[in-house]
A and B are shown apart, each in its own frame.
Chain A
């Protein structure tokens, strides 16, 4: 996917003025937050589970190589294959080769963010194979030719009216006078359209929420059952997953499942939790003939052992997006690449380079709500600061801010000079602003006074007054 992360400011300005988007985002700002809170309140041990989930993921990351090899051994034992892909290009080629060998014409897809990361849909389409998204939200945005704007709610930026308009525009074989006012009628139409596609698909591609080392199983959670149809009906099932998705055992997957849905949608469990363990065995009533797991690194292993390692704990629940005031106001597309919100602001620089995404870590007030709700306790504000340090060291933000910071520090480390400078500055500002008590415009302060007044100082510094009184 072509990134526009470096244009975050322009993207955000457009988003702030997009009435449809602003209307759609109210859903994120309200419902997701209260539902998660209700789920937490109903489970007294929730915070203890988060600690356990964090510790589990840390353990896995410390022995990632061993668990991945164990996983591969068990996939092979079950009759499947594992493909190790260091880069998006490797993964695209691997998947295309599998599809070509199978003579595939259409591919159904369950939701996969790694699929977005490697741009698999465009690659398949460019090679004459039609990819069909089967998650309702993904289906909607595929028709609209848009990328997902949220990790678990890909079309959260679209209003009901927009969905209806899209369906009428694309589903031209249906009665133009049909009634689509109810969300359920839209759902029904998508279901009818997708049902036929499930049956003819040659290959099904899904993501994975977990890869289970000691059984060689992969796990997906969905609320629509589309993942099950994607992976059991076609002849070939391809699981596409990042290497960090590994857990040692089914029991460990159980722990993460307990925090995943609660953090994401506020559900205790998603409607469907599906484990796939190899291709169809003799006597199985359904299942694919071939089972492939495409493991994607794409920069993840480089984060191991660095200050950014902790971001690999992410289980892609979307809670940080749901609680982020920046995301609430600009939505997901403004972030300009696959992952949006706080986790996107730290992941994108890691995967495509800070030089291509330097505004993202800046676009945060460091309010800390993301870390507060993260089910695996990723210290996102700390990581944002690490990226800011990297951008500062590499001089990615131009010299003006740099010199301002250096000048402030030079003054702040010379207390006597600082006191003098502040006394003079505050005296002038206090005098100018004393009558009204505030400024509605001031040179060099346009970014502040564009939207709010700047309160005037009281006129003397505390330090000067305190010394005067002593």
Chain B
């Protein structure tokens, strides 16, 4: 690596990681910096990616937030997001959202081109396979809809998890349907959302795994909330915690 200039990576923490699970942010920083000649920077001017407004028809709010994110992150070599849906928002939706704004259209496109979901960055950009963490549990993995269908990320988290010492991986049956989170969907249509997460949790239980991992806090809060309501012993964690060897905190929804 000597002589290679270190690249600046902007970390878009996401509002849910910021609010719910700061350990994921630290895990992401550790992983990015281990994966290559990268220096992670966390800009202060970050809040939310704008999905609540964008997906609820409030385009004006979404635009204001999108412009703020473009300004805060356009200066980095890469931008990494520990969430498929927020990465998808920046990567696939910002260029469309800002297409009609001459001051921002090209900048949104440029930002989109260098923005990655965390596991996607680690594999596709850093081409990293130096995971050396240990996690002696049986795990299954939930693909978020955005990772799967907006970003075509499926093999990356599995390749990374395959390197974790002691980890036994069980593929989730019928893994492609939505878990029922869907942002505001889960509170606008709670009874339909509940049937969806019931199905998801039943499939998770069928794997016999101790832990379910995912790369989206929205899905994880939904799935963990349902598992705990059912009294299940299965834990839910963000995949970054396990990859970085930082899975010592209580799992999502577990007491301290």
Contact = CB atoms under 8 A, between A and B. Distances in A.
Interface of A: 9, 12-13, 16, 325-326, 329-330, 362-369, 371-372, 382, 385, 387-393, 401-402, 405-406, 408-409, 411-413, 415-416, 418-419, 422, 425-426, 434-438, 440, 447-448, 450-458, 460-463, 465-466
Interface in B15-31: 15, 17-26
Contacts of B64: 409, 413
Contacts of A416: 44
B250 interface: yes
Nearest to B222: A452
A346 to B, nearest CB: 14
Interface stretch (B107-115, B120-128, B191-199, B202-210): B191-199
Contacts of B194: 450-452
Interface of B: 13, 15, 17-26, 42, 44-48, 50, 52-62, 64-65, 68, 96, 145-146, 149-150, 176-178, 180-197, 221-222, 224-226, 228-229, 249-250, 252-256
Nearest to B228: A453
B57 A418 contact: no
A166 to B, nearest CB: 27
A415 B188 CA distance: 27
A97 B68 CA distance: 62
Contact of A458 (B22, B183, B192): B22
B47 A438 contact: no
A370 B119 CA distance: 25
Contacts, number: 212
Given A367-B177, A466-B42, A451 B229 contact: yes
25 contacts: A9-B189, A12-B192, A16-B191, A365-B145, A365-B181, A367-B178, A369-B177, A392-B59, A401-B184, A412-B15, A412-B65, A426-B19, A437-B255, A450-B194, A451-B197, A452-B225, A455-B252, A458-B21, A462-B13, A462-B17, A462-B25, A462-B26, A463-B42, A466-B26, A466-B42
Contacts of A13: 191
A329 B17 CA distance: 31
Contacts of B23: 458
Contacts of A326: 189, 192
Given A408-B52, A452-B197, A458-B249, A367 B182 contact: yes
Given A329-B196, A452-B197, A368 B19 contact: no
A466 B25 contact: yes
A457 B54 contact: no
Given A406-B58, A415-B46, A440 B13 contact: no
Given A415-B45, A451-B194, A405 B178 contact: no
Contacts of B226: 451-453
B181 to A, nearest CB: 7
A131 to B, nearest CB: 34
Contact of B221 (A364, A382, A454): A454
Nearest to B196: A325
A405 B50 CA distance: 10
Contacts of B196: 325, 329, 365
A402 B55 CA distance: 13
Contacts of A453: 224-226, 228-229, 253
Nearest to B85: A366
Contacts of A425: 19
Contacts of A366: 55, 145, 182-183, 185
Contacts of A463: 13, 18, 42, 44
| Interface class of chain A by DSSP | helix
Nearest to B145: A367
A358 B47 CA distance: 30
A367 B222 contact: no
Contacts of A409: 50, 53, 58, 60-62, 64-65
A392 B253 contact: no
Nearest to B184: A401
B48 to A, nearest CB: 4
Contacts of A413: 47, 64-65, 68
Nearest to A417: B47
A438 B253 contact: yes
Most B CB within 10 A of own CB, among A367, A416, A440: A367
A455 B25 contact: no
Contact of A437 (B50, B176, B256): B256
A457 B187 contact: no
Given A364-B182, A367-B145, A448-B187, A412 B47 contact: yes
A413 B46 CA distance: 9
Contacts of A392: 56-59
B57 A367 contact: no
Contacts of B182: 364-367
A349 to B, nearest CB: 12
Contacts of B190: 447-448, 450-451
A440 B65 contact: no
Given A366-B185, A385-B57, 10 more contacts: A13-B191, A368-B145, A405-B56, A415-B68, A422-B18, A447-B186, A451-B191, A452-B229, A453-B229, A465-B22
Contacts of B146: 368
Nearest to A385: B55
